[in-house]
Amino acid sequence: MAQRSFAMVCRPRVFAVLSAVLALGSATPASAQGISIADLAGKTHIHGLAFDRAAPPNVLVATHHGLMKAAPDGTVTPVSDSRDDFMGFVPHPSDATIMFASGHPQAGGNLGFIKSTDSGKSWEQIATGVDGPVDFHQLAVSPSNPDVLYGSYGAIQTSRDGGKSWAVAGDGPAKLIDLAVSPANPDTVYAATEEGLLVSRDAAKSWQPLMADVPVTTIDLAADGTILAYVPGRGLLKANESSPTFEKVADGPDPAGYILHLAIDQQKPLRMVAVTCTRAIVVSGDAGASWKMLGKK
C-alpha cells in the first residue's frame, strides 16, 4: 500500500495505537496486549489493510510501528515481533502464513523486500531490489500468480520469482498512490494516482488512463474482476475489467472525508474494510453500500 503524498488527504493520516501496546515485548501473551479501538490515541500511521485469511473476521493492519491485528470487537493486538515501519504490505493471496512487505527499520534506512512465513510474526529480507535496499511505498501481488509482484521505488519494479530478484519494469505513474494487480492476468496492473486511474496491460511498462483529471485515493479488485476505486467528491465507484465504465456504489463511509485504504475479503467479496480520512477503520458487509466502525454493534 501507499505512502500518500496526495495533497487533499487529511494530515496527519494517523490511526492511534496506545503507547503501552507499542512498548510491550513480544513475549507478552497476545490476550494481554489487546486495546480497544475506542482507546486509540494517535501514536502511529496506517499504511495498509487486509483481511486475515486464517481468521477472516480479523483485519491485518500494517502500521508505522509493526503489523497489528484488529478483531471484530475492535480489540487491537500486535502481530509482528518487530516494530518496523511497514510501508508496502500485502498478504499472499492463498497462503495465510505468507506475507510480503517493505518499509523502514526502527533504526532508519530501508528494509528492502521482506517476507514472513509465520503469519506476520517474524520477517526476513528476501532481496534488496534494484538500487536498493528499496522502500516500496506501494506493493502489489498477483492473485493468480503470487510469484509476480510489483513495487514502486521511483520506477516500478517487478519480480517473477516470488521476490527473490527484481527488475525495473518501467517508469512509475506520476503522483502514484496505490497499485493493484488484475485477478485474471498478472501482467495487468492498475495505478491509483492524484490525477486519475491508470491501467497497464504489459506488466507496468506503459500506462493508459481509465479515469482522468480526478484524484483516486485507493483501488482494489475482487476475484470476479470487479474494480473498486474511491474518488473524493464522487464516492466509491465500481466497474468490471471487461467493461471499465465506472458507476457509483455509494458516497463512502464518511462523506466529510474519504477512503485512504481499501481491502476486499477475497473469500467473501461483499465484505470490505477501509481506513477513512477521519482515522476510523470501517467495515462493510454489502459491497460498500453501507459501513460501520469496526468494533461497533
**Residue 12 located in a structural domain:** no
Q: Other CB atoms closer than 10 Å to residue 235's CB: what's the count?
A: 16
**Residue 13 located in a structural domain:** no
12 preceded by cis ω (within 30°)? yes
By residue range, what is the domain housing residue 187?
A: 19-293
pLDDT of 246 reads: 96
**Residue 14 located in a structural domain:** no
**Residue 286 located in a structural domain:** yes
Give exposure, 195-229, as e/b (b: 16+ Cβ within 10 Å). Answer: bbbbbbeebbeebeebbeebbbbbbbbbeebbbbb
**Residue 30 located in a structural domain:** yes
The percentage of residues in the chain with a pLDDT greater than 70, rounded to a whole number, is 84
The tens digit of pLDDT for each residue in 163-209 reads 999 999 999 999 999 999 999 999 999 999 999 999 999 999 999 99
Phi, psi of 289, deg, nearest 5: -70, -35
The tens digit of pLDDT for each residue in 69-99 reads 999 988 889 999 999 999 999 999 999 999 9
The tens digit of pLDDT for each residue in 211-252 reads 999 999 999 999 999 999 999 989 999 999 998 899 999 988
Q: CATH number, domain at 249? A: 2.130.10.10
**Residue 8 located in a structural domain:** no
Average pLDDT, integer, range 6-12: 42
Structure confidence at residue 294 as a pLDDT band (50, 70, 90) = confident
Residues counted in the chain: 297
d(CA 109, CA 105): 6
**Residue 191 located in a structural domain:** yes
Looking at the 3D structure of the chain, how many domains does it have? 1
**Residue 130 located in a structural domain:** yes
Find the range with the poorest average confidence among 24-28, 32-36, 46-50, 167-171.
24-28
Structure confidence at residue 9 as a pLDDT band (50, 70, 90) = very low
